[in-house]
Amino acid sequence: MKRLAGLTTLALIISSTSGCGWIWGEDGYFRDRGSDYLTERQTPPMQLPADVQSKRLDPLLPVPAQINDSTATGEYEVPRPQAIAVTEDVSEYSLQKSGKSGWILARRVPAEVWPVARQFYADSGFNIVDERPQTGEFSTDWQPLSSLSSGLARRLASKASDIEEGAETRVRVRIEPGVQRNTSEVFVVSAQRPAGSTADVAFTQGSVNPSLDNALLDEMLVSMARNSEQGGSVSLLAARDYDAPSQVSMTEDGNGNPVLHLGSDFDRAWSGVGRSLESGNVRVDDINRSVGVYYINLAEGAKVNEEEPGFFGSMFGSEPDEEEIEARAERYQVRLTTVGESVQVSVEKDINTSAPEDVARRVLTIIQDNLG
């Protein structure tokens, strides 16, 4: 303690001494060395004895041979760097290719891509006859290209010239979750039958007419990009239809704990539960999709705005700090488990402990009410 006091006194004496240029001035110990390089000169490379073998050593920081002004003196102020021109593809949709086949990559979740893709076909004159939001698919009816909107029919005919006159076509569109989080992949497969035929030609796994499928993808891409650039809104009702399960029922497991059964595959059940928790104002602190768990905090509302509180907001305590949030936290886990062709949703305190019956029922009711 005495040593600390002595050092503090010494520092005060030094800082208060007049004319302390020996410390901070031009010739001081802590002087600015930013312009020292102006007086430096290149020295000859180090010479080794003739009988010593060594690898060539290139200088790490060579002085440039040609500079604008080698006689500059005095202090030099380093200019601020030029702003880097950043160009980024702001389009939310892009066309991907692999051999002759292609697909559209969307930087949106499937529930948001579904209504946009469907709207393109409805506006273009296609008759949509089969919709399966739970599997992310819809199909059109048999119809000749001439029955579509005149502009689209003309462009498709020019790009897919191998389709005979009067032949009928139907299309299946499939929307799948992308490899990256919050992305989707849109695939198109068409089927053709000769003019006058009534045969029900099935869709094949691969494309039987790549030129037509790729032409449809091109048209979809243009339409989707235009919708995005013009700020086109996504139909929330259509989005809800996409990941809404075909059946939802509240039951109890073997231990009497309430569980929710969703008639859906895991991808769409996961999307629907996440959307329902947000719509029900339930705070999701973390997720682990690989094990199918949403980590929730019932003491807080949903994270709508991730921005940090402002200076005055923090000063006057308008936002709770982390300690306050942790002190009042009510943490639970919403777990999704695939059971056969459906998904079971349960609420747990932790991996080994079920949540209290009233808490579990309250959370599952919020999910159920916001699913459809």
Per-residue burial over 235-247, b if 16 or more Cβ lie within 10 Å, else e, is beebbbbbbbbee
Please, what is the average pLDDT of the chain?
77
Contact 284, 293 (CB under 8 A): no
Contact 169, 215 (CB under 8 A): no
Per-residue tokens: 259: 């569980």
pLDDT score of 181: 66
What is the band of 92 on the pLDDT scale with cuts at 50, 70, 90?
confident
Is pLDDT of 67 > 70? no
Residue type at 285 in one-letter notation: D
pLDDT score of 19: 55
Residue 204 Cα to chain centre, angstroms: 32
Contact 283, 306 (CB under 8 A): no
pLDDT score of 311: 46
Measured on CA atoms in the order 203, 207, 212, 213, is the torsion positive or negative? Answer: positive
**Residue predicted with more confidence, 272 or 349:** 349
pLDDT score of 328: 82
Angle between helices 110-123 and 210-229 (to 10 degrees): 110
Domain with CATH 3.30.310.170 in the chain: 93-233, 244-304+320-369
Is pLDDT of 91 > 60? yes
- Check: pTM over 0.75? Answer yes or no: no
The topology (CATH level 3) of 244-304+320-369 is TATA-Binding Protein (3.30.310)
Per-residue tokens: 153: 């029919």
Is pLDDT of 370 > 60? yes
Is pLDDT of 194 > 60? yes
- Cα 134 to Cα 335: distance, rounded to the nearest angstrom: 20
The stretch 339-361 carries a mean pLDDT of 91
Selection from 130-134, 245-249, 318-322, 327-331 with the highest mean pLDDT = 327-331
Domain 93-233 CATH class label: alpha beta
CA neighbours closer than 13 Å in the CB half-sphere of residue 16 = 6
Q: Locate tokens 């949540």: which residue?
A: 355
Q: Which 3 state secondary structure label does DSSP give 247?
A: coil
Percent of the chain with pLDDT over 70: 71
Task: Name which of 52-56, 263-267, 310-314 the model is least confident about.
Answer: 310-314
- Cα 35 to Cα 69: distance, rounded to the nearest angstrom: 14
- pLDDT, tens digit, 9 for 90 and up, residues 219-241: 998 888 887 776 655 555 555 56
The stretch 309-334 carries a mean pLDDT of 68
Task: Name which of 74-78, 253-257, 344-348 the model is least confident about.
Answer: 74-78
What is the CA angle 183-223-194, rounded to 5? 100
DSSP state letters, 100-144 = TEEEEEESS-HHHHHHHHHHHHHHTT--EEEEETTTTEEEE--EE
- Cα 117 to Cα 228: distance, rounded to the nearest angstrom: 12
